[in-house]
Every structure is written in C-alpha cells, then in structure tokens.
Amino acid sequence: MSKDHKILIIKPSSLGDIIHTFPALSIIRKTFPSSYIAWLINENFKEVLEGQPYLDEIIVFPRYVFFRKGVPFFKELRKRGFDITIDLQGLLRSALISLLSGAKQRVGFRDGREFSSLFYTHPIDIAPGILHAVDRNARLASSICGGIFDTDFTFNISHRAVRKIEKLLKDLDVHGQIIALSPVTRWSSKMWVEEKWASLADELSKKGVVFFLGSHGEEKVVQRIMKMMKTPSFSLAGKLDLQELAAFLSRSRILVTVDSGTMHVASVLRVPIVSLFGPTDPDHCGPYGQERGVVKCDIRCSGCYRTHCRKRECMKGIGVDHVLAKVENIFGREYP
C-alpha cells in the first residue's frame, strides 16, 4: 500500500460494531499518515464519528433507500477514486459495496459471512483463537499495515454535547455521583426482568443519582421500570443523540447495562461497567478490557445468539444480588 492511497473503510453498523473498529482505524492512520481515509456508515450512526481525528471524510450510506438511490450513490462513490476498500462488516451487502466502489484492492475477512470473501482481492485469514471483535478487526488492519498493532480507541466528544449535558445536570440540580442504567436492547432475548431492574435501581439510588438511558422507542420500557421503583430517578431515554450519550456517560460513575451499543460507548470512555450477558458471548462482544464486570448465568444454551427466546432462562437466572456484588467488586472501598 502506498503512503498516499485513498482508503475506504466499510463498517455501516451497528453502534457496538463501529466502536469495535476504532483501533483498526488507528492502526491504518498511524501506518499511512498521509493517506486519505473515509468511512462509509449508516446515517443513524454518523454522529459517533463526529470529530474523529483519524478520518478525512464520513460517507453516509443510504441504507433504507438502497434500490431507489443506489445507482447514483455508487456512481458518485466510484468518482471519488478509492484505491483500497477495507470491509470490516463482512457481509454480502458490505462486500458488494466494496466491489461497486471501483477500488482495485479490496480487503476483508476470509471467513466473512454470506460468501462475502468472494468479492475481495485480498481475503485475510484471522487466527481462530482471536475471539473479540476488537482484536479481529485490529488483526485484519495489522495484516495490511506491516504488523503494527494497538488498541487506540480515540473518541472525541463534541463541545456542543458537553455543554448540553452540563446544562441538563445543572437544571436538574444533580448532586453526587451519577449511576447510569441502560436496560433496553434490540434483541428481546438479551432483556433482563423489568422488576429486577426496579429493585436494582432502588438499591443503587442509595449510592447516587440514578439515570435511565435508552434510544428512541425505548421510553415505554424505562417508564414501566420507573413506576415499579420506590425511589426517585430520572429518564433520558429518547432524549440524547450519540454525542450527548457519550458526554453523559463520561460524567457517570458507573454504567449497569445489558449487551448494547451504550455499553460499548462507555467502554471506549473507560467508564466502569457492569454488563449482563445471556444469549451473546462476552468473549466476543463484551466491554473490551472490562471482563471483571460481566454477569452471567451459565446454563446449557448460553451464548446461543438467538434474537428471540420465549424462556430467557439465561437472563432470568441473573439475580439482583449478583449484579450488586459486581458493582461492589468494581468500586471496592471507593464505593460509598
């Protein structure tokens, strides 16, 4: 690879997957400091790349209007003259984007899903022992960058977002440490019991000010939990964009969460995390570097990766006492 190539990183979604790619971006930029690097991303996640110092351009992919606007989009993409695409999504759609970009060199995982590797000129083998998505992405980048490897999660929070959070906390007259809870995720199989969230929040409210987080559409779940509580709390569900979420998490003492994008944002910011896992494997997609905060109820079908489950035994088996014990283990004597 030339030092001044035009490079396109393809990682359209989701929030956690995008964050898992930051170290790979760092490796590429530090190896090729004078190259032009762009990132193709879905519109609803573009804010997470705002202020990213290693990028020259953010290209928004019109995912939901692919067939109507796809032809003019790819014509414009080809005009940009990218020399190299690095597909870190590893799906048929992302591999096709790589091909239609017109880049002569197309890099991706050899074991990518949906036969995606057939569209790469340089399919990369990753050692089977490397499980976490962060390490897999970094190893792929390292393989084309002369072996350099690091885990730089550089993530800049905008001044706009910081100012909004400071004003919000001032208006709410918040004093003491902030305890953030993120109880909702897209997979119903990853959801914890709402009554347990309420009991946990009541216990944690003795230690600080409890805030519930969530994206648009998740407000109803949070409101149900808050109605079951005996102590006051605040809801920011549906009220923060991605930059504001990061600014709020940076002010938090701890985040308690299910496997979600919010968990990965907190991980980048080095916020202490207690994370509840059931159908997904924390060795692959857990909060990077915060394994001690993982709570699991190990049963035969744990790690099944089913998005829906009627029984949800792996999540229902996690007790409030298990979560509280992890909180106290993280904070130790510093915890009030």
Q: Is-contact 324 295, C-beta < 8 A?
A: no
The predicted structure's pLDDT at residue 69 = 66
The pair of three-digit structure tokens given for residue 15, joined into one six-digit string = 């929030």
Q: Is-contact 324 293, C-beta < 8 A?
A: no
Nearest by Cα to 155 from 298, 50, 242:
50
The predicted structure's pLDDT at residue 129 = 80
Nearest by Cα to 7 from 103, 75, 71, 140:
103
Q: What percent of the chain has pLDDT over 70?
A: 96
**Segment 190-243, tens digit of pLDDT:** 999 999 999 999 999 999 999 999 999 999 999 999 999 999 999 999 999 999
Nearest by Cα to 324 from 293, 283, 288:
293
Question: Please, which residues have CB within 8 angstroms of residue 322's CB and are 6 or more apart in sequence?
Answer: 295, 297
Full pLDDT tens readout for the chain, 336 residues: 556 899 999 999 999 999 999 999 999 999 999 999 999 999 999 999 988 999 999 999 987 666 566 788 899 999 999 999 999 999 999 999 999 999 999 999 999 999 999 999 999 999 888 789 999 999 999 999 988 888 889 899 999 999 999 999 999 999 999 999 999 999 999 999 999 999 999 999 999 999 999 999 999 999 999 999 999 999 999 999 999 999 999 999 999 999 999 999 999 999 999 999 999 999 999 999 999 999 999 888 889 999 999 899 999 999 999 999 999 988 774 444
CA distance linking residue 314 with residue 324, whole number of Å: 18
DSSP tally for the chain: helices H, then strands E: 13, 12
CA distance linking residue 66 with residue 80, whole number of Å: 19
Query: What are the structural domain ranges in the chain?
Result: 6-143, 159-334
CA distance linking residue 79 with residue 60, whole number of Å: 16
- How many other CB atoms are found less than 10 A from the CB of residue 123? 17
The predicted structure's pLDDT at residue 263 = 97
Please, what is the average pLDDT of the chain? 93
Question: Please, which residues have CB within 8 angstroms of residue 279's CB and are 6 or more apart in sequence?
Answer: 187, 189, 190, 302, 303, 304, 305, 306, 307, 309, 314, 315
Percent helix / strand / coil, the chain, rounded to 5: 45, 15, 40
CATH topology of domain 159-334: Rossmann fold (3.40.50)
Backbone angles phi, psi at 264, to 5 degrees: -75, -35
Q: Is-contact 94 117, C-beta < 8 A?
A: no
Please check whether the domain covering 6-143 is classified as CATH 3.40.50.2000: yes
